Chains A and B, each alone.
Chain A
Amino acid sequence: MSSDAHALTHDHAGEHAPPRGLMRWITTTNHKDIGTMYLVLSLIMFFVGGAMAMVIRAQLFRPDMQLVTPLFYNQMATMHGLIMVFGAVMPAFVGLANWMIPMMIGAPDMALPRLNNWSFWILPFAFTLLLITLFLPGGGPQGGWTMYVPFNLQLGYGFPFMIFAIHLMGISSVMGAINIIATILNMRAPGMTLMKMPLFVWSWLITAYLLIAVMPVLAGGVTMQLLDRYFGTHFFSVAGGGSPILWEHVFWFFGHPEVYIMILPAFGILSEIIPTFARKPIFGYHSMVYALASIAFLSFIVWGHHMFVVGMPVAADLFFMFATMLIAVPTGIKIFNWVATMWKGSLTFETPMLFAVAFIVLFTIGGFSGVMLALVPADFQYNNSYFVVAHFHYVLVTGAVFAIMGAVYYWLPKWTGHMYNEFWGKTHFWLSAISANVLYFPMHFLGLAGMPRRVPDYPVQFANLNMVASIGGFVFGLSQLIFVAVIFSCVRAGKKAEARAWEGAHGLEWTLPSPAPYHSFATPPEVA
């Protein structure tokens, strides 16, 4: 464990101060610097993807809006999905992992600091590649984030750029995952057995394995697209002995675990925040760990639920339906355990707790629509309608994104040494929570009434609810400016935060001073 020794011999704040200016950020191998860069990148991408969402909602404000061309609309819808998934949610979780895992397990830094630097610095190049497709002849990707062939093979010059961007993102994710696993398995403080690890660390350990398992599958799949287009192979064309359905299987074999990659760390965050503000230990720690593990296992055998209308054999439909419904059981266990943690606690509702409680309620609503979607005959109606759009925004925005925001408010005092402004934090929460529901709830109705997703225009019977959703969307978008303002002002000034910034907080990170020192634990702490 050379990095361990390295950190141990070198850490005395001041003696080995980081270089100043830009070079500090380019050459850094420090988990906090890298975590910060991940989080900043994620915030920027959240706004880039968000701006695209604003274009989408403006175009759908009323029928026959004609603000942008259908071609541009399709590019916005596709890029919005890719940017939010790969640029906003995933880097945010990796940033949180970088910041928090070494502090939570009593380590000085990540196990592989140079790999860490590299896995971050790949990303700005990946997103540059992806975004410049918008300015190339033929435009950016237009087939949805699912990139179904043969349509995806019809793209213009942007096609290979998109493929290479995805390769880069995949490499970055796999390297990040390797680093996280190496850190968790090797660098825990003495006495911290696996079953004593904080649940956030557990959730990331499992997520990292999911990443290693499925990112290469996506990379292989997009490479097959590249070969089909430029090298005369026929993986995806029936005429040459292949099948377009093969792509859908490959994509969703990656895609379904991917959605769990975006929610398991959120589960971990909830399991940190709720006990703190309930002033009560997490309920059912062991079943929480087992539930995480079984969700991760099941996530590999349910991909077909995205493909019910594709024309699979009945036996496959039935298998994927039953397996998918099974996931609701461990998911339910997590929800009940959080509620039981709140039960008879002594609750206060600071901003992180508000986000956490909203998560439980709204994520559960997304779980309800998920169970409905799993029913094959009903999915023959729901599939690809706005009902699906409502489902995945409930689990991803009011789920994953709310958890990330809660985590940022929760740990900002530790990162900056200042308390954030509670009034503005709460304002941000209430505006976001209400507008997100105004935005996404009507989409259930739109989908049931028959509105397809990924269309730039719609018949007049969908006008009212679309206008409501658009208004919700604009308010949600604007509210996020408050988030940025709160973060900036907290970084610069604010009430001094104590080491244990929240009186109910437990865990090693709260034993370090706020702001946390540049190198976390120079000597490993004792874990009882």
Chain B
Amino acid sequence: MLGLSAKDTGFLLFVTFLTLATPILLQPFPETSSLAQFNAGYPDLMQRFAIYGIFAIGFNILFGLTGYLSFGHAAFLGVGSYSVVWMYKLLSFNVLPGLILAIVLSGVFALLIGYVSLRRSGIYFSILTLAFAQMSYNLAYSVFTPLTNGETGLQVYTSDPQILMGEGSTQVPNLFGLVMQDSIKLPVGDWLFTFNVGYYFTAVIAIFVFYISLRIFRSPFGLILRAIKTNRTRLSYAGINTRPYMLAAFVISGMYAGLAGGLLAAMDPLAGAERMQWTASGEVVLMTILGGAGTLMGPVLGAGFIKYFENIFSKINESVLHDWFGALPEPVRDFLIAIVSPFVGDGWQLTLGLLFVLVVVFLPGGIMEGARRIGSIFRRKPAAAEPAKLPETPPAVAGDPAGE
């Protein structure tokens, strides 16, 4: 179905289900429990899961398949955000024209940056992409201030033309009147579920672009990108000109980043140059590696993981810790708080850094490798009971030997 094998179709349906059920799945604790602060099912955060998931899925097409590490993808994120806000200013608060512009414009940017950067490989390629992104960042603050509004950031003013806005038009981001920030709240017993328009809008787009990435992974194009990663020079002696493939992968991943940046502005009608900063480029690298570069689901999980940390761990401050350890005798409590507090609240990045180190050292394949190892523990027993036999149909093609 949809040009996929039965196994992949099942996989896609599973991912679709998880994405659509996210507002329920991420809300496991009742509102009344003290664990409710670990719930992640609120619109803001879920939108970010989906948006950064898109960013990471696209990044993975470049980095995961070809091994070319770009340190400049945040530039496309910024281009996407500015595109959407400009369309708000010129046309109306309908997000659609802006998102289309975001994808097209970031594709053009990626074509230019990729064309130059791909003249080099390895560390030189990474440095070139970083340099381009930092240049974009600086230009946004200097030469391009008429376009970016410099440090204030780009936003919509009442004096803007907004030529498509009529009398009763919605004054907030919407899709043909469907307001992004609207939510339906559904209390079930002690639980409270929030179904947000913006989340579902980003989720449907995320599922669609995940499907595209799945198709790319399974295509001959994907095979050649993998071959580039493992031995690029061999491909040229096999008659393949690797440059167009690399450039295509770079542009596709740039367009994903532009779409993600556009969606950020579709949820919150602002765009600032800090979105282009090198830290934002580094973040998507961390997401991809943490989740498992070159796997389909890994980058999405990595993105969710990091955004969860950023939003949930950062909220655990000393008073929360006092609540947790309140029942303990005072010296024990103070001791525990002294140990734990540097790692939570503002220290969430410390914890994330430690986790990252642990993953890279012990699980170089990221979260997905961890999942696979756990899976193989459970699978070992039945496998031993059956005599080993050769597969009749080649699973390397049916499944996915390099990814997954």
Do A and B originate from a single complex? no
Q: Which residues of A contact B (CB under 8 A)?
A: none
